Structure 1
Amino acid sequence: MAPRPRKRASRPTKPRAGSRRGGGGSDDDPFFESEPKRRRGGGDEEIESENSDDDAMAFGGAVDEDGDEGVKEEEDEETVGEKKMRMAKELLKKLTDASKREEDDEDEDEEEAGGRRVAEILQRRQLEESGRKRWELAARVLPPEPQDGFKVIVKHRQPVTAVALSKDNDKGFSASKDGVIVHWDVETGKSEKYLWPSENVLISHHAKPPLSARRSKHVLALAVSSDGRYLASGGLDRHIHLWDVRSREHIQAFSGHRGPVSCLAFGPDSSELFSGSFDRSIMQWNAEDRTYMNCLYGHQNEILTMDAFSKDRILTVARDRTMHLWKIPEESQLVFRAPAAASLECCSFIDDKEFLSGSDDGSIELWSIMRKKPTFIVRNAHPSLDSDDQELPKENGIHKPENVSMAQSWVSAVTARKGSDLAASGAGNGLVRLWAIEPDSKGIRPLFKFKLDGFVNSLTIAKSGRFIVAGVGQEPRLGRWGRVRSAQNGVAIHPIRLKEEKDDL
């Protein structure tokens, strides 16, 4: 059968400015004509390409591929896909240039070697971001300089009970025993306080009336959402208070716990909030929807600390000398028991397979999800007697070794940069230590130590790994001539010097 003769498509005329064609689906309108023709298959592939140019001219000007014949009257806004493509091309160009500068092998073709180096860097970064490969950060930590030390950037009147950092490391949050919550800038130290609303406003935000004449504002825990929009606080009033970070205003109160709220954690990249309490329960909330979701039971005593690695996995430690790994969707848990003569006090995820804990006997334990016992234990991780100078603690300028107690070596805080091999711990004697986590659960290796005046109650490492933040507390004490010495309560920050990698951009 002879092929049917094809009718040449008529060239559309340029519409007048401000005019509108009638008949929404008319074939004369280039808007309805050009796109369907491009998507047709079969015989329509031979349509001349000049029609697309005419269609573009019909919309007010066209530019050829080289951009030499004309300029668009109005630039189109960059779409999300175009922005991602542009950023990917820029990253590839930077990586290619960096690999060419570092390439020393003259026997290989420069372009081929550079491409292979770029592929290796991208593959390693993808594995690190997905959690399948641990970020080797500890090997890049340099010894601290003599001028380095903890710098107090925010001061509180009472001991600091909790610190938290935003995901981008720019903003920090701290709370103290007197109920003061402070929002501060990491670089400048500029701080702003959160003001508690009146009792009537709290009740209108779904808070229950206080049991006593006055509501306690003693804060024990803080947590900030991954998007930086919400700050959650909990304390002795048995409520979880939700704050708007942008306006620093109280927006919601979650009630349900029958005891003080001791710990809080937001799920990464989600609005799900977990709370632990002295009533031995763990509750799950949704900060975006302001709703209660679930309640978990399993501990036999007061819950002390918790950490979240994903919205499906949380880790908790209680005074029953156990640590529980909770699997939220399955509603199941793994129980890890403390070694003999030790009581677990704090915990932190390293990755989805390993985690750390600190004990009241001064030891640090490394755990694996495959074993119920610690894979490695560091005894006397924070000794009261410093092994370098063998100096005893002083009181009123006089050495009193009989006053040295085990409470000074009590490991009160542990933290790790998630997905890396760098961890830190703090104790009652004010000593903060950095640790390197060996691969394959082989152990923990000490790196460096920093001294603080006071006890370390909370600790966190920035996501970039370039600084560590500690919440410090110190009770007033008598000095020389019976004068009361001022307490050092506040938030201290210490830089971590890192060796630059070859592919750091």
Structure 2
Amino acid sequence: MSSFFTLPASQRKRKREDRAGAPASKKRGVTDGDSGAKGGSRTRERDQSISGSDLDDDVESIAPGASEEESGSESDEGETAADRRLKLAERYLDNVREEVDDYGFDAAEIDRDLIAERLKEDVDEFKGRVYRQIASDLSFSAASHSFFRADTQSTTSIAVDPPYVYTVSKDKTLIKWELATPSHATTDSSTDGPNSSSKRPPRPQRKKPKQVRFVRGLQKIAESDEEHGHTKSILSVAVSPSGKFVATGGEDRKLIIWDAATLTPLTTFTQHRDSVSGLAFARHISTMSSGEQLFSGSFDRSIKTWSVGSAGHAYVETLFGHQDHVSSLAAMTIDQCISVGARDRTARLWKVVDESQLIFRGGSAKHSYQENNLDCVAPLPPNHFVTGSDSGAISLWSVHKKKPLHTITLAHGLDPLPPLDELSSEVDPNIAASNARHMRRNPRWITALATVPGTDIVLSGSWDGWIRAWKISEDKKTIIPLGPIGAASSTPDTPSHQLKQSLAFENPMDSAQMAIDGPQAQKMDELKEEAGSLVKGVINDIAVFERRAESNKPGQTKPNSQASQPEPRGLCIVAAVGKEHRFGRWKCFTNNYHEGSTPDGRNGAVVFEVPFINDKPQSK
């Protein structure tokens, strides 16, 4: 039996325009006759009635529309499209005003939206979705600096959580500082009152950071009557992204979690079997954990991961692979960190979730000074990082290549040769010079590296008393030098005869290496910098953050004196300074043979405020 569903597709098609005039279909067993005529007439009548009702409805529905169009055309006669858009905008603003008048607006909600937008920008920058080239817009030579210290030994590490800075030193000291807000270019004088006719001079603004908390050695917990704290030198410090916790590691094999507000020790971990040399928090909280992720590196050649949170602190797992001391590490992204293994000359990218590691081997026979150690590392998320070695080289790496993309050799120059009376025991200076004629100047190790994620800025430090700035190219394949920070404002002019005399005492071997060490003009500049070193100490660590107009965190308020003025934009660089290297006494600022008022160096820290070139205070 045939039906509609068993017919071919070509026969099932129905055309709406032909349905009214189509003849009635013939049924099986029905002949053409009166019955067919009657059936056809009934069908035609039904179709006519249906089509008639549809037409009536259409006419009724079209009529009002036509009248509206006619009235609209009459009212809008002579009105352009721009006028109509202006009317719509005015109507929208009137609606917004009525809504604000009726319900008001929530300032807290607006603040939350702004904070959410800023956090989204930070995440995009950290993950590499946003790459801002701001190094060319910063005036590094005009940076202002301020040295601050306490009565401690060499400062070994530093961590920053605006507006607070945390420093640790070799005498088991942990100090919390509060940074000062940089002053504007112009400062208006204030009056004593509305009826006062005389103006008093403005109060001098604080430039140096203010000490907030101070902790040294063992601390007794009142609740449990237990003692927590370091018993040997503290080598590393890190602050959590939330700003609630501070982690420190030292030569006593301890990893201690502190309350950032009060510097009260919360938990002490002793899982490492040697000195804890490096600490780094992941910048964002992992969705797989209830706490903040902490990485720790040690001289026991291992890296451990920890979970730090309000609910508790816990050990997670251990990563093995390095063949020598882990001298430095940094967090790349969540569940990923990068580390360097000193004398094994490797940098390793650890993927915790995948339980895998990528190995990058340093050292090249092309350079005149060979790399023996990789001591420093700084991340450029998501796919690049920078390393510093004992040969004075700074290398740019990509996680997709096993060799460095670009290398700057002798980034901080060479150490000057010691005086002849210290090189040789010969009384005759000619014989002493002959004995020392084959000596080469040693390169200055890279002792500290730092980057600003999401930007093209790299900072490096050594024991020459300078912090140097570098720029990553737009294609992230080369490193461009920008010069030392604060050099223009503090470097004294050295007499030309002194420079020529210094060049005359150089080894003849250096003149053969002129193409490697740089032209003579560059050497003259380096000698100027050596004659007036700015920091006067070994740069053991660098921390940096970018100052923005909305850099205050939620819940933080500015003092009343600063509330009326926007915060200046720029870069804030904080460096840990010491007379000795943080890992030992084998290299000091003293045996670098500097000249000046403080040849022995000093312990403490220094803060640089680097302004934007075209950044001016806003005037109301």
Instruction: Quickly name the TM-score band, shorter chain normalised.
Output: 0.5 to 0.7
- C-alpha distance 203-379 of structure 1, shift in aligned 2 (>3 A): farther
Cα distance change, pair 159–378 in 1 and its aligned pair in 2 (3 A): same
Contact residue 361 and residue 406 of structure 1 kept, 8 A: no
Instruction: Note the C-alpha offset of 1:309.
Output: 2.5
* Amino acid in the other structure paired with 1:225: S
Name 1:13's counterpart in structure 2. Answer: none
Question: In structure 2, which of residues 469, 484, 507 is the aligned counterpart of residue 434 of structure 1?
Answer: 469
Correspondence for 1:301 among 320, 324, 329: 324
Give the AA of the match of 2:238: A
The answer as to whether partners of 1:197 and 1:250 remain within 8 angstroms in 2 is no
Q: Which residue of 2 aligns with 1:160?
A: 155
Q: How far apart are residue 195 of structure 1 and its match?
A: 4.2
Asked if 1:412 is matched to 2:412, the reply is no
1:287 aligns with 2:302: no
Match for residue 385 of structure 2?
Answer: 355
Tell me what 2:135 maps to.
138
> What is the CA-CA distance between 1:156 and the residue it aligns to?
4.6
Residue identity opposite 1:299 in structure 2: H
Gaps of 5+ in 2: 1-96, 181-207, 286-291, 365-369, 425-432, 486-533, 548-569, 581-587
User: How has the CA–CA distance of structure 1 residues 382 and 344 changed in structure 2, closer, same or farther, with 3 Å as cutoff?
Assistant: same
**Is 1:474–2:498 an aligned residue pair?**
no
Between the aligned residues of both structures, percent identity stands at 28
Residue of structure 2 aligned with 1:327, choices 351, 356, 360:
351
Is 1:453–2:536 an aligned residue pair? yes
Partner of 2:81: none
Q: SS at 1:282's partner residue? A: strand
TM-score of the aligned structures, taking structure 2 as reference length: 0.56
Q: Partner letter of residue 305 of structure 1?
A: S
Alpha-carbon separation, structure 1, partners of 2:236 and 2:315: 19
Aligned-residue offset at 1:128:
4.1
Amino acid at match of 1:355: F
Distance 1:394 1:193, change over 3 A: farther
Partner Cα separation in structure 2 for residue 125 and residue 329 of structure 1: 23
Q: Which amino acid aligns with 1:275?
A: S
**Which segment drifts farther, 465-474 or 225-234?**
465-474
Distance 2:336 2:275 in 1: 23
Separation of aligned partners in 2, 1:253 and 1:345: 27
Measured against aligned partners, the alpha-carbon deviations of 1:222-267 in whole angstroms (never above 9, x if no partner) come to: 0000011000000011110111011121111012011111111111
Cα deviation, residue 429, structure 1: 1.6
Q: Answer yes or no: is the 8 Å Cα contact 2:217–2:231 preserved in 1.
A: no
How many angstroms does 1:130 deviate by? 5.3
Q: Deviations over 1:460-482 (max 9, x none)?
A: 222335121111111596999xx
Q: 2:352, 2:468 → 1: CA distance?
A: 32
CA distance in 2 between counterparts of 1:264 and 1:308 reads 9
Q: Partners of 1:124 and 1:189 in 2: how far apart? A: 28
Cα pair distance change 1:484/1:65, threshold 3 Å: closer
Give the residue type in structure 2 aligned to 1:179. Answer: K
Task: For residue 151 of structure 1, report the CA deviation from its aligned partner.
Answer: 2.0
* 2:207 matches 1:184: no
CA drift at 1:493: 1.1
Instruction: Give yes or no for contact 1:321–1:338 (8 Å, CA) kept in 2.
Output: yes
Matched, 1:463 2:478: no
- Once the 2 structures are TM-superposed, how far is the Cα of residue 499 of structure 1 from its aligned partner? 3.1
Looking at structure 1, the residues matched to 121 and 245 of structure 2 have their Cα atoms a distance apart, in angstroms, of 33
Which residue number in structure 2 is paired with residue 278 of structure 1? Answer: 299
Aligned letter for 2:347?
M
Alignment of 1:84-95 (within 5 A): 84=112, 87=114
Taking the aligned partners of 1:500 and 1:384, their CA distance within structure 2 comes to 35
1:492 pairs with 2:507:
no
- Offset at residue 84 of structure 1 (A): 3.9
Counterparts in 2 of 1:399 and 1:200: CA distance versus 1, 3 Å: same
- Which amino acid is the alignment partner of residue 193 of structure 1? F
In structure 2, the residue matched to 1:17 is none
> Could you say which residue in structure 2 is the equivalent of 1:108?
none
Q: Which string of whole-angstrom CA distances, capped at 9 and with x for unpartnered residues, describes residues 383-426 of structure 1?
A: 136xxxxxx5888xx99997998666111111111111011101
Instruction: Name the CA distance, whole Å, in 1 between partners of 2:282 and 2:610.
Output: 26
Change in Cα spacing, 1:247 to 1:198, as seen in structure 2 (3 Å) is: closer
Post-superposition offset of 1:440: 2.1
Give unmatched runs, 5+ long, in structure 1.
1-63, 92-122, 209-214, 386-391
Shift of 1:81: 5.2
Aligned CA distance change for structure 1 residues 330 and 373 (closer, same or farther; 3 Å): same
- 1:14 paired residue number: none
Q: CA deviation at 1:433?
A: 0.6
Structure (1 or 2) with the greater strand fraction: 1
Find the aligned partners of 2:132 and 2:544 in 1 and give their Cα distance: 14
Structure with greater Cα Rg: 2
Displacement of 1:299 after TM fit?
Answer: 0.6
| Structure 2 partner of 1:242 | 257
Q: State the alpha-carbon separation in 1 of the partners of residues 348 and 226 from structure 2.
A: 32
- Residue 196 of structure 1 and its aligned partner are, at CA, apart by 3.8
> What amino acid maps onto 1:144 in structure 2?
S
Task: Return the letter of the residue paired with 1:269.
Answer: H
Give the TM-score of the pair, scaled to structure 1.
0.67
Report the Cα offset of residue 485 of structure 1. Answer: 7.1
Q: CA separation of 1:204/1:235 partners in 2, compared to 1, >3 Å: closer, same or farther?
A: farther
Q: What are the equivalent positions in structure 2 for 1:339-354 lying under 5 Å apart?
A: 339-340=363-364, 341-342=370-371, 343-354=373-384
What displacement does 1:310 show? Answer: 2.0
Going from structure 1 to structure 2, the CA distance change for 1:206 and 1:179 (only over 3 Å counts) comes to: closer
Change (3 A) 1:129 1:246: same
Q: CA deviation at 1:80?
A: 6.6
Tell me the alpha carbon deviations over residues 261-295 of structure 1, each in whole angstroms, 9 at most, x when there is no partner: 11111111231111111111111111112111111
Hey, what does 1:365 align to over in structure 2?
395
What do the CA deviations read for 1:289-338 (whole angstroms, capped 9, x no partner)?
21111111111111100001222210111121111001111111100011
Whole-angstrom distance in 2 between the partners of 1:143 and 1:484? 24
Q: Within 2, Cα distance between the matches of 1:301 and 1:143?
A: 36
When the two chains are superposed, the root-mean-square deviation of aligned CA atoms in Å is 4.0
CA distance in 2, matches of 1:328, 1:242: 22
In 1: Cα distance, 2:546 partner to 2:235 partner: 23
- CA distances 1:176-233 after superposition (whole Å, capped 9, x unpaired): 111111111111411131244447889976979xxxxxx6331000000001100000
Alignment-derived partner of residue 251 in structure 1: 266
Residues 203, 241 of structure 1: alpha-carbon distance in 2 compared, 3 angstrom cutoff: farther
Distance in 2 (alpha carbons) for counterparts of 1:383 and 1:303: 25
Contact 2:384 2:398 in 1 (8 A): yes
Contact preservation (8 Å) 1:468, 1:493 = yes
Give the SS at the match of 1:139: helix
1:407–1:304 Cα change, 3 Å = farther
* Alignment CA distance shift 1:485-1:443 (3 Å): closer
**What letter corresponds to residue 324 of structure 1 in structure 2?**
R
Residues 196 and 250 in structure 1, CA contact (< 8 A), matched pair in contact too = no
Change (3 A) 1:301 1:193: same
| Structure 2 residue aligned with 1:120 | none
2:236 to 214, 221, 224: 221
1:424 aligns with 2:469: no
What is the identity, as a one-letter code, of the residue corresponding to 2:579? Q
- C-alpha distance in 2 between matches for 1:353 and 1:415: 16
Name the CA shift for 1:252/1:442 in 2 (closer, same or farther; >3 Å): same
8 Å contact from structure 2 (residues 280, 294) kept in 1 = yes
1:307–1:315 Cα contact (<8 Å) kept: yes
